[in-house]
Amino acid sequence: MTTLQLSAMEELVEKFLDVAARGDVRQVSTLLSHSPSLINRTRTNGWTALMLAARNGHYHVVETLLSHSCDKFLVNKSSQTAYDIAKFWGHRHVSNLLAQVDNQCQRLLPTSDAGQPENYFSRETLDRLSEKRTNSAWLEDKKSNPDTIYLLFCNINPMLSTQEEAGQTTETRLCRFGYEAVKDLLQRPGSLLVFLGVEKREKPCSSSYLTEEKVGKPPAWFAISAEEEPAELLKLSGETKSFFPQRANRDLLTLPEDEAGIVAQARSVLAWHSRYSFCPTCGSSTKPEEGGHKRTCLNADCSSLQGVHNTCYPRVDPVVIMLVIHPDGNQCLLGRKKIFPVHMFSCLAGFIEPGETIEEAVRREVEEESGVKVGPVQYVFSQPWPMPSNLMIGCLAVAMSTDIRVDENEIEEARWFTRQQVIDSLFQGANPAFTVPPRQTIAHQLVRHWIGMTSNL
């Protein structure tokens, strides 16, 4: 009897795997409704229904299996996940679906009860398609495509369009141009072009009879850095309310979240180009390549042309920024620089030095700036900061000492603030005792994260 039951189950498993491989969504759903335990069953080679559907590009079967909480992290005898299989066989719409972050992915990462914010400048609305940067023919085709979007920069600052009501700015957005508007600029020797990527699609079509051409290809985005005078470039916009920001840091913080992430990429790469027109290895001139994501030395004898050299690629400067928690768990350490607005205090921060870990950088910077010694350090989240090309690494740290001795070359003042004072600053509104940086900054989000914690470090 037991043997018969096992044989019947084995037949059911084979039927389930077969309909998944064939893309029969209705049968997959029917079998799961009667036998939910089928969801992660495998053949002897370790292949699951999800892997078989991914192998054959059956988007809707994959979608159905994921909705029934199948385990997408299982591996077959070749140590492949369903994502690996879909990517290998070129089913990009399926691999993108499997790559989405969800609760199942979240279980792999420790998180606090307060959750993690989507920090400003962090939203990725473009697929960077780094593999296309070396494809000159593909890039040339995209440049002249009428759907391609161009962003115009001058002195690494973007051209923006503002709308005003009653003398007050109500909306700030990036100015977008088509190929016809910028084609003359592209031919000028001083212009620099950077490929940013193509727009992401939330849910690509998987039907075999609808090709990418029929549903429409997502537009490509490029950034142009021009050496023209801003007044001349403004004539391209056709709008009297377009401008290059006079105070870039302030104006960039007024962009919508989806555009801020694009600017973070474009501005950082353009800033790198402005500083690396000459080879750091031999001093010769360099030229941009790979869609603006590499500079190559023009000296044929330069050693940078042999092997991989990080001087050839855009740089990112890592910065630790930390909220230091008092040993009593009810206070945090904040400091202010002379350039800050009146009454504003922020988290301490500093560049990571060569050969230094994140934790040691936190401890060194806190002690250098405030005299406070730090023990445990916990990474929380990060934020790109295109001023011009930093990566802010946000941490919480526990103080081992409480006496403050400020290095006046670094900051003007540092204080311990109670949890209630911080809450009043964030939520009270009028006349708080002090202010924290705006919500677009990682310092603001670190403070909010600490307030939202249900337990102390």
Q: Supply the DSSP string of 323-385, one letter for each residue.
A: EEEPTTSSEEEEEE-TTSPTTB-B-EEEEPPTT--HHHHHHHHHHHHH---EEEEEEEEEEEE
| Residues in CB range of 384: below 8 A, 6 or more apart | 121, 122, 261, 264, 265, 268, 390, 391, 392
Domains delineated in the chain: 2-106 (1.25.40.20), 126-275 (3.90.79), 317-452 (3.90.79.10)
| Residues in CB range of 271: below 8 A, 6 or more apart | 156, 386, 388, 389
DSSP 105: H
> What residue type is 59 in one-letter code?
Y
Contact 150, 181 (CB under 8 A): yes
Helix (H, G, I), strand (E, B) or coil at 239: coil
Helix (H, G, I), strand (E, B) or coil at 38: helix
Q: Where does 155-218 show beta strands of DSSP type E? A: 157-158, 160-165, 168-174, 192-199
Distant-in-sequence contacts of 35-40, Cβ < 8 A, 24+ apart? 36/68, 38/12, 38/13, 39/65, 39/68, 39/69, 39/70, 39/71, 40/70, 40/71, 40/74
Exposure letters 254-282 (e unless 16+ CB within 10 A, then b): ebeeebbbbbbbbbbbbbbbeebeebebe
Instruction: Measure the CA–CA gap between 52 and 17, rounded to whole angstroms.
Output: 7
Spell out the per-residue pLDDT of the chain, length 457, in tens. 444 455 788 889 999 999 999 999 999 999 999 999 999 999 888 999 999 999 999 999 999 999 998 888 777 887 778 887 888 898 988 988 887 756 555 444 445 545 567 899 999 999 999 999 999 999 999 999 999 999 999 888 898 887 766 666 667 889 999 999 999 999 988 899 999 999 987 544 444 433 444 456 899 999 999 887 777 777 776 655 566 665 556 778 889 998 999 999 999 999 999 988 899 999 999 999 999 999 999 999 999 898 877 788 999 999 999 999 988 888 999 999 999 999 999 999 999 999 999 999 999 999 999 999 898 898 999 999 998 899 999 999 988 888 899 988 889 999 999 998 999 888 876 567 789 999 999 999 999 999 887 544 3
pTM of the predicted model over 0.85: no
Helices 59-67 and 92-99: crossing angle in degrees, nearest 10, is 20
Instruction: Measure the CA–CA gap between 37 and 446, rounded to whole angstroms.
Output: 43
| Residues in CB range of 265: below 8 A, 6 or more apart | 126, 128, 196, 197, 384, 386
| Residues in CB range of 232: below 8 A, 6 or more apart | none
Instruction: Measure the CA–CA gap between 77 and 332, rounded to whole angstroms.
Output: 51
CA 202 to chain centre: 16
* 297 beta partners: 286
Helix (H, G, I), strand (E, B) or coil at 185: helix
